């Protein structure tokens, strides 16, 4: 596991869950690079996806977490960047498989769709699962 921080960002719909996940990351012993948002005021999720992508591109982080209402919009925005492979996950299985098969480096969660405990379980699974490599290497290489 890298000693670099986990970068995390959200829009206003994901802010409360993001803050809980920051606490979970810290409790697990991870350094956190929290890029906001920092309150419930309406913001544009693509801007926060861009900030997270820049942190990965610049080498300040290798893995990240994004949160919006569904996880979908912020993942779409993040995936415009070639250094990001963001996957929306709804349970531990999807979090595990996206690491094993897709080598995703960003977990996207929907605050309106998953509860706090499921989100924490997804986070722990995402961070503890390694890429399987093998037959998946060729496919991941085709993504970017």
141/87 Cα distance (integer angstroms): 16
Helix (H) or strand (E) holding 44: none
H or E element, residue 107: strand 106-110
Calculated CA dihedral for residues 138, 58, 90, 42, nearest 10 degrees: -140
Spell out the SS3 assignment of 98-124. HHHHHCCCEEEEECCCCCHHHHHHHHH
Choice among 12, 68, 81, 122 that is catalytic: 68
Has 89 been annotated as catalytic?
Answer: no
Q: Judge whether 12 counts as a catalytic residue.
A: no
Least Cα distance to 61 among 17, 30, 98 occurs for: 30
Catalytic residues: 68, 101
């Amino acid at each position: 596991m890298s000693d670099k921080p986990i970068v995390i960002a959200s829009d206003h719909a994901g802010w409360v869950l993001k803050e809980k996940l920051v606490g979970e990351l810290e409790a697990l012993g991870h350094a956190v690079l929290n890029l906001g948002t920092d309150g419930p005021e309406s913001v544009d999720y693509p801007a926060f996806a861009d900030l997270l992508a820049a942190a990965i591109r610049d080498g300040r982080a290798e893995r990240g977490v994004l949160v919006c209402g569904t996880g979908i919009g912020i993942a779409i925005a993040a995936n415009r960047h070639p250094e990001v492979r963001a996957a929306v996950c709804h349970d531990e299985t999807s979090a595990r498989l996206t690491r094993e098969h897709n080598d995703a480096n960003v977990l996207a969660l929907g605050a309106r769709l998953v509860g706090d405990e499921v989100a924490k379980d997804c986070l722990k699974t995402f961070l503890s699962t390694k890429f399987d490599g093998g037959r998946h290497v060729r496919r991941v290489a085709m993504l970017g």
